[in-house]
């Protein structure tokens, strides 16, 4: 069967090699529902423009609904000789309604048709990803509320730094994911622009009511420049950029999950249902869910770079290079959604070892900053307080003790301003509670952050 895209112009059939190379229906067929929705709305627009008779439009719409049902039931098969999902559906339509089906492409091009379908798909997927982000955020908030008060070491450079609440650590990821959801919503606004009616590049000569067509297809606005509308894919790039940042955050969370589950940390146990074993070592319980999430991040990054590279040197307007956008976008969305689901399930089932976290926080002189702050409040300049505290820490390291284990007498050898109540400043509990400014790790501040997060999630659309 000769493709309708070649009819009339060509004197020979397309080669089998070129047909395979050119075809995209094996991956863009997932757009069929959107293409059918577009065709239904466009049939109405053509009827409004006088291109189709009302009876023809009615027959076309009924046939398109039947085609959708038959595709879902597996009764209709896409053919690679029709290149893509759009020409396949047009062929199905013509088979069902005859000559009237050949009118459906009047006044449009696959250029604006493809761009419109892809924007419709992307809008839905953006909101789907946002829902999965929200679900993961709820899990983080649930864990943070459940374990409020549990102290762990906070790290910089992967070295113990200061004691923090485990809940505070979890809520840091809540904030990252919140920004990811906001970025996607902003991206949705720029994706919510209808290209249909731009035709190949110059617009259409038929009196299509584009604003009504946009409303019928659920778009907020129509494109203002026909060449821009069909030839840019910045909305695809923006989705990929948003997903890349999201995956970067998920990768960091996954990496910490791997660390916390290790025997060296032993802060958490992973749920058996989200861990794997070894083919040779029976004792192993591997954090493969987290590791795969960390690994798949590069896959999404690669999709972003691939589409940027495709677009960077293209003259206006449409070029077939742009067919490469869909596989990358489809794969990135699928990957991000899978990783959100897997991390949500993994974290929801973890068992937290509170004692191990507390013990780890009490070792390593983590309240050294509190000692320095104490000295400052006693009148020492901070740099001097820092020097004195450093000397005390070196003494602790040399003698294999911690700050809170030193007597007041021994502490006073390093500075005579040290007096009564010094040990109150050296406990991890007091260290945490003293960080009571907005955004700090005190129980009061973290509890407030959890309350605010629950309200935010409840009100988010």
| CB neighbourhood size of 343 (10 A) | 24
Catalytic status, residue 278: yes
In eight-state DSSP terms, residue 440 is -
Name residues whose C-beta falls within 8 Å of residue 99's C-beta, 6 or more positions apart in sequence: none
Phi, psi (5° rounding) for residue 400?
A: 55, 45
| Helix, strand and coil percent figures for the chain, each rounded to 5 | 65, 5, 30
Smallest CA-to-CA distance from 346 within 276, 447, 249 is with 276
To 5 degrees, how large is the angle CA 427–CA 430–CA 436? 150
Tokens coding 419: 């007096």
To 5 degrees, how large is the angle CA 40–CA 49–CA 191? 50
Tokens coding 169: 């650590």
Rg, Å, the chain Cα set: 30
Question: How many whole angstroms separate alpha carbon 430 and alpha carbon 237?
Answer: 48
Catalytic status, residue 221: no
| CB neighbourhood size of 431 (10 A) | 24
Between strands 221-222 and 193-194, the pairing is parallel
Question: How many whole angstroms separate alpha carbon 115 and alpha carbon 145?
Answer: 45
Find out whether 143 and 347 touch, Cβ atoms under 8 Å.
yes
Q: What is the dihedral of CA 299, 303, 304, 308, to 10 degrees?
A: 150
Q: Which one from 157, 205, 263, 273 is the annotated catalytic residue?
A: 157
In eight-state DSSP terms, residue 276 is B
Smallest CA-to-CA distance from 70 within 38, 36, 117 is with 36
Q: Is the peptide bond before 60 cis (omega within 30 degrees of 0)?
A: no
Name residues whose C-beta falls within 8 Å of residue 258's C-beta, 6 or more positions apart in sequence: 287, 290, 291, 294
Token pair 């953006």 in the structure block, residue: 126
Q: Which one from 15, 278, 391, 407 is the annotated catalytic residue?
A: 278
Question: How many whole angstroms separate alpha carbon 312 and alpha carbon 56?
Answer: 43
Tokens coding 393: 């820490």
Find out whether 419 and 411 touch, Cβ atoms under 8 Å.
no
Sign of CA dihedral 53, 55, 56, 57: positive
Burial of 400 (0-12, 13-18, 19+ CB in 10 A): exposed
Find out whether 4 and 91 touch, Cβ atoms under 8 Å.
yes
Catalytic residues, by residue number, are: 157, 278
């Amino acid at each position: 069967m000769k493709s309708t895209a070649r009819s009339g112009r060509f004197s020979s059939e397309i080669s089998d090699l070129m047909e395979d190379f050119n075809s995209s229906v094996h991956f863009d067929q997932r757009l069929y529902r959107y293409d059918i929705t577009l065709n239904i709305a466009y049939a109405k627009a053509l009827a409004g423009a006088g291109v189709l008779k009302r009876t023809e439009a009615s027959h076309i719409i009924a046939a398109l609904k039947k085609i959708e049902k038959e595709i879902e039931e597996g009764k209709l098969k896409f053919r690679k000789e029709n290149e893509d999902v759009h020409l396949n559906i047009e062929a199905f339509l013509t088979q069902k309604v005859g000559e009237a089906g050949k009118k459906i492409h009047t006044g449009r091009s696959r250029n604006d048709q493809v761009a419109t379908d892809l924007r419709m798909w992307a809008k839905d997927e953006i909101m789907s990803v946002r829902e999965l982000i929200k679900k993961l955020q709820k899990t983080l908030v649930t864990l943070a509320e459940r374990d409020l008060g549990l102290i762990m070491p906070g790290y910089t450079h992967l070295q113990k730094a200061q004691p923090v609440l485990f809940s505070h650590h979890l809520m840091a990821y809540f904030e990252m994911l919140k920004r990811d959801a906001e970025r996607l919503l902003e991206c949705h606004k720029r994706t919510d622009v209808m290209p249909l009616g731009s035709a190949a590049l110059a617009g259409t000569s038929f009196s299509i009511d584009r604003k009504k067509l946009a409303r019928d297809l659920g778009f907020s606005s129509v494109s203002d420049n026909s060449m821009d509308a069909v030839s840019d894919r910045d909305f695809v790039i923006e989705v990929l950029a948003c997903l890349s940042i999201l995956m970067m955050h998920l990768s960091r969370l996954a990496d910490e999950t791997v660390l916390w589950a290790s025997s060296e940390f032993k802060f958490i146990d992973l749920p058996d249902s989200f861990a794997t074993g070894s083919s040779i070592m029976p004792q192993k319980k591997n954090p493969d869910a987290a590791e795969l999430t960390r690994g798949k991040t590069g896959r999404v990054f690669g999709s972003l770079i691939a589409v940027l590279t495709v677009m960077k040197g293209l003259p206006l307007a449409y070029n077939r290079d742009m067919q490469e956008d869909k596989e990358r976008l489809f794969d990135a969305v699928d990957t991000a959604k899978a990783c959100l689901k897997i991390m949500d399930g993994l974290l929801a089932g973890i068992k937290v070892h509170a004692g191990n976290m507390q013990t780890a926080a009490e070792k390593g002189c983590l309240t050294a900053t509190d000692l320095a702050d104490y000295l400052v409040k006693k009148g020492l300049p901070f740099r001097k307080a820092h020097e004195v505290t450093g000397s005390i820490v070196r003494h602790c390291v040399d003698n294999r003790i911690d700050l809170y284990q030193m007597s007041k007498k021994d502490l006073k050898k390093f500075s005579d301003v040290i007096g009564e109540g010094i040990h109150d400043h050296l406990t991890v509990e007091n260290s945490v509670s003293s960080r009571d400014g907005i955004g700090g790790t005190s129980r009061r501040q973290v509890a407030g952050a959890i309350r605010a997060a629950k309200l935010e999630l409840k009100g988010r659309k």
